[in-house]
Amino acid sequence: MKRVLLTLALSVATLSSFAQTTIYDGETTTPDFWDLGGNPPNGADCHAGEGWKLYVSGRMDILTEGVANPDASGLNTTGKVVRFVRAKVGEGWAGASLNIASLNLNISQTNKFSILVNKPVEGNVTMKLEGAGSQEVTAYYSSPGQWQKLEFTFNSTNFTGAPATLLVFPHNQSGLTENTIIYFDEVTMYDASNNPTVLYNGDGPQTLGFLDGYWGPNGDLNNLQTDVFPNLYKTGINTSNHVMRFLRAKDGKSWCGIGLGGQDFNVASTPVFSLMINKPVSGKVGMKLEGAGAQELYADYTTPGEWAKLTFTFDPAQFTGHPNTLIIFPHFEDTDLSGQNLLAHTPMYIDNVTCGASLPTSVNVPIQEVVPVSYKIFSLSGEYLTGQMEMLNNGIYIKKTFYSNGTVEASKFVIVK
């Protein structure tokens, strides 16, 4: 027989509510956060021959190779594709390029190309060849949310020799209402007999890994923050439509993050700050207040791939007045230490940043309105194990209970067989 002994409740206060001020919610309150620090290796480019190079304009455009195919059906059943985030304020020619000089193409014999595209809006897709001449050809994408094959035929009279570069502009139009995720794959060329040769397939990204790019103010690939971004994980405690995306460089510093200045935080009356975060790895999240003093606090994120609410309570004694700057460090881990390096530049998402008064000392919660709906069991190090206690051996574990009102309660317990 198995006996379970609960030993310590960690977070019953998550069931309570208190007056709060929304600092950011991605919907109606979207102040302009700035990005802090970063030192990725290659800037916005990748080395010659390693794969796609990002052409960036406007505030933000991101290229990522080898991501999961969002719709592996119909025309495209490959496992991985290219994801391109088109900034709503970007130029139509924002896109990606591929070095094809080694192909030594004869455009009089090989002048037809195709690409598979999947995006949520209709619009132009442009392909361009450059080198020994140049030409742009545009096709219209008319199947929002589905894979569509687009073809481009070039005129050899525009070239005096073999082109060196192939470029793709996934949405060669203006007028987007929000930053838009676009996927493309299966870049193919055809010879005079219409025989296809695949130049690029996301299942084997030519960078041998992921490539994210951002042309920051200083000309470097910075740890990118995008303050209005579609919520890709509308489940659990956060079903809002928009969030903030932060790209944590795999070799970035722990203090890389986002900041918001020009504020007036009264820590004496509103010392409790909270945020929701979703990232693919466990690790500390930091929050700092600066101005008229300073204090830096940390909380552990232990549920990779899921939204979690973290709370930070500041000490008014650390300040002589009202701090004016809020800084968030989404992954406060030293990636220079052996075994701590991120495997790739890693997107992390933040939402619902709030501040409020102290949590009440007594809470009246209508029990009939809040019921547990699921459980998850973690090791003490934060590794997810199972949702069933029967699968556990003797030891100490952390249990997270997910309630019907979207709140989460954590507790430690001991298994004794």
Token pair for residue 310? 């973290």
| Claim to verify: residue 349 and residue 369 sit in the same structural domain | no
Q: Averaged over 156-180, what is the pLDDT? A: 90
| DSSP secondary structure letter of residue 282 | -
> Three-state DSSP class for 347?
strand
Instruction: Please tell me the predicted confidence (pLDDT) of residue 209.
Output: 34
Among 323, 356, 389, residue at a domain's last position: 356
Domain shared by 327 and 262, yes or no: yes
How far does the chain reach from its first CA to its final CA, in angstroms?
Answer: 6
Q: Which of 330, 257, 273, 345 is nearest to 300 (CA)?
A: 330
d(CA 331, CA 258): 11
Residues 28 and 90 in one domain: no
Task: For 210-255, write each residue's pLDDT tens digit.
Answer: 334 333 333 333 455 666 777 878 889 999 988 888 877 666 778 8
Task: Please return the burial class of 326, using the count of CB atoms within 10 Å of its CB with bins 0-12, 13-18 and 19+.
Answer: buried
Asked if residue 44 is part of any domain, the answer here is: no
The reply to whether 341 and 253 lie within a common domain is yes
- Both 349 and 370 in one domain: the answer is no
How many domains are there within the chain? 3
Is residue 257 included in any domain, yes or no?
Answer: yes
Q: What is the CATH number of the domain that holds 227?
A: 2.60.120.260
Residue with tokens 């069991």: 377
Cα 258 to Cα 225, 394, 415, distances in angstroms: 7, 42, 41
**139 and 76: one domain?**
yes
Q: Are residues 256 and 350 in the same domain?
A: yes
Would 212 be classed as within a structural domain? no
Neighbour tally for 346: CB within 10 Å: 21
Q: What is the mean pLDDT of residues 89-103?
A: 82
The domain containing residue 382 runs over which residues? 3-12+364-416
Residue 46 lies in a domain: no
Is 318 found in the same domain as 347?
yes
Same domain, 370 and 332: no
Q: Residue 45: inside a domain, yes or no?
A: no
Residues 137 and 34 in one domain: no
pTM strictly above 0.85: no
Answer yes or no: do 335 and 406 share one domain.
no
Are residues 59 and 171 located together in one domain of the fold?
Answer: yes
Within a domain: 330: yes
Each residue of 31-81: pLDDT tens digit?
A: 877 767 643 333 333 333 345 665 555 555 667 777 778 888 889 998 888
Which residues, other chains included, contact 170 with Cβ-Cβ below 8 Å and sequence gap of 6+? 84, 86, 95, 96, 117, 119, 125, 182, 184
Does 105 reside within a domain?
yes
Which residues on neighbouring strands pair with residue 8, listed in sequence order? 412
Q: What is the pLDDT of residues 323-366, one digit of tens each?
A: 999 999 999 987 654 445 677 667 889 999 999 986 544 444 34
